[in-house]
Structure 1
Amino acid sequence: MRCEGKMARIHCKITPLSVYLVVLATYSTLMMLACLENEQLERMAKEHEQETAAPLEEDMTIVRDRRSQHGRWLRSVDDFFRRMGTLETTCSKMVSLGGTYCRRALDNNKVVCLDEDVTLKSNNCTVYSFGIGADTTFDDQMNYYGCDVFMFDPTVNPEAIVSTNLEHERFHLLGLDIYRYNRTHLNVYPDGINENITGEFDTYDNIRRRLGHESRPVHYLKMDIENSEWRVLPDLAKGGKLEGVRQLAIEIHTMDIIRAPTHQVLPLLRHYWQVLEHLTRLGFLRAWYRPNLVVETMYHVPGENRSIATCFEVLYLRRGPVY
């Protein structure tokens, strides 16, 4: 192709309308970019919120579950006892002390952990033993180990207690509760003799005060107080009462669920769990669990041919974080 002649000239005339259109187009473009940027930022924010909300919600669930304010995880009787039997810590040097055979099974024995971080130092340890039922075999062996043992039980005749070291263990006809009072008990012995015993109950703080132990740490605390633990434990968890306790042995009784109406069983178990969670908040972790297989305390699962032991022994070691 061939071009001839002068190059054509293009004349551009700038008018107010053209200026307005250019400015409008530029403004529209900037607004569109700004909107896209805002939408992108909002989308990124939502994505970030979704990514962080799940872990946060999970963490809060763990905290709520750990403290178990409402026990929402507990939806069946099995849930309670399965979790109780799930240990939270281990002991590499566990020993069983005391106990007597009843119905071909060892009863009233307690376990002690000798791991370095929670061990009881011989000749420098104090044991409180609440509830002995005239069986002092555990207390005797703790005394042989070198601990100062103090026994408490308001329901037995001191003369009926067989102990080779009673003078060292300092038995007190005294029970543990959340207030001070006296109560008369009727004891029936195997030989058919009945005897009324007036027992005194007092608070943990008062008992320590009466013994002059306000500043003396209790290293091993044993409680077998026949269902009264549900009143006593919340009180012990307050005000630093368990300060110094390294090992806490409890016989736990939940046999109230046996006679409770079906609709009250789970609320009862949730209440029990909330009480026990007070111990977890103080750093006590379950290291040992043993159900007591006594026919009278077995819970028969409705509609099923099986039973669950409602009384069990638990040893807590103080080695968890306080929260």
Structure 2
Amino acid sequence: MGDMDDGGWEVCDDPEVRPVPPCIIYSYGTGKDWTFDEDVSRLYGCHVFAFDPSLDLQRHDRTPLIHFYPWGVSGTTRTNSKGWQMYTMEEIKGLLGHKDKTIDIVKMDIESSEWTAVPQMLSSGALKGVKQLYIEYHVTSATNNREGLKTIQAVERDGWKKFYVRKNFHCMRKQRDFPVKRTSCYEVMYMKAQN
């Protein structure tokens, strides 16, 4: 679903996890690419709640099924140094009245904030009732690789199974003392058939 070049995500369409109305999708990190949100809302008839504090947009309904909020997701609720309002996923679910609702897909492309957001999601139980989880992991020189590995292992220990992994070639970089270019972004799609 979405742009095949960048911004697209592989949706698992197996019957036990396929979004079926009334379905809910959280799309963290929309950027200027709405193709994923548009495709999943059109194909599955889901309400997509799109979040991105970096866009200069107010809260609005982009379509009858796509609802935009200028919030970010993080490991703590705060206003960050850029003036962006950040919430935990648990708080976002509460603000939207979704605490006891099934969330069919959580998609996250949040530019390294996943390293604080995901551990909090796991420890708080915010992922309970989520069927599919898509994360773009950003590995940069500022990433603590040991803590990052612990986060990825914690996702898998929580019962999430990878069904698709790909490198995002839009994040290519040359690493000093390494002979070839590498990517710093890895998109991992997980599913959880039973919650």
Q: Which residue of 1 aligns with 2:13?
A: 114
CA RMSD of aligned residues (A): 2.5
Matches within 5 A, 1:97-176: 97-99=1-3, 106-121=5-20, 123-144=21-42, 145-158=44-57, 163=62, 165=63, 167-176=64-73
SS at match of 2:16: coil
* Percent of residue pairs identical: 30
Is the 1:255–1:298 Cα contact (8 Å) retained in structure 2? Answer: no
Counterparts of 2:81 and 2:158, CA distance in 1:
35
CA drift of 1:155 comes to 0.9
| Bigger Rg over Cα | 1
Is the 1:230–1:272 Cα contact (8 Å) retained in structure 2? Answer: yes
Q: Which residue of 1 aligns with 2:175?
A: 300
- Note the residue ranges of structure 1 that are not aligned, 5 or more in a row: 1-96, 101-105, 186-197, 261-267
- Note the residue ranges of structure 2 that are not aligned, 5 or more in a row: none
Q: Deviations over 1:150-179 (max 9, x none)?
A: 0111110227x9x5x2x4311101111122
Q: Which amino acid aligns with 2:98?
A: H
CA drift of 1:184 comes to 6.3
Counterparts of 1:272 and 1:179, CA distance in 2:
18
Counterparts of 2:146 and 2:84, CA distance in 1:
32
SS at match of 1:208: helix
Task: Find 1:288's aligned residue among 156, 164, 175.
Answer: 164
Normalised to the residue count of structure 2, the TM-score between the two structures is 0.88
Counterparts of 2:183 and 2:78, CA distance in 1:
32
Counterparts of 2:193 and 2:65, CA distance in 1:
30
Question: Which is richer in helix?
Answer: 1
Q: Which amino acid aligns with 1:217?
A: T
Counterparts of 2:111 and 2:173, CA distance in 1:
16
Is the 2:6–2:170 Cα contact (8 Å) retained in structure 1? Answer: no
Q: Deviations over 1:258-305 (max 9, x none)?
A: xx8xxxxxxx3332111111111111011111111236x425263x42
Is the 1:286–1:315 Cα contact (8 Å) retained in structure 2? Answer: yes
Alignment coverage as a number of residue pairs: 193
CA drift of 1:117 comes to 2.5
Is the 2:136–2:186 Cα contact (8 Å) retained in structure 1? Answer: yes
Q: Which residue of 1 aligns with 2:188?
A: 314
CA drift of 1:250 comes to 0.8
Question: Which is richer in strand?
Answer: 2
- Which structure carries more relative contact order (alpha carbon 8 Å, separation 6+)? 2
Counterparts of 2:129 and 2:97, CA distance in 1:
16
CA drift of 1:212 comes to 1.1
CA drift of 1:110 comes to 1.2
Counterparts of 2:18 and 2:65, CA distance in 1:
21
Q: Which amino acid aligns with 1:154?
A: P
Is the 1:301–1:307 Cα contact (8 Å) retained in structure 2? Answer: no
Query: Is the alpha carbon distance of 1:299 and 1:276 closer, same or farther for their aligned partners in structure 2, counting shifts above 3 Å?
Result: farther
Task: Find 2:154's aligned residue among 268, 278, 286.
Answer: 278
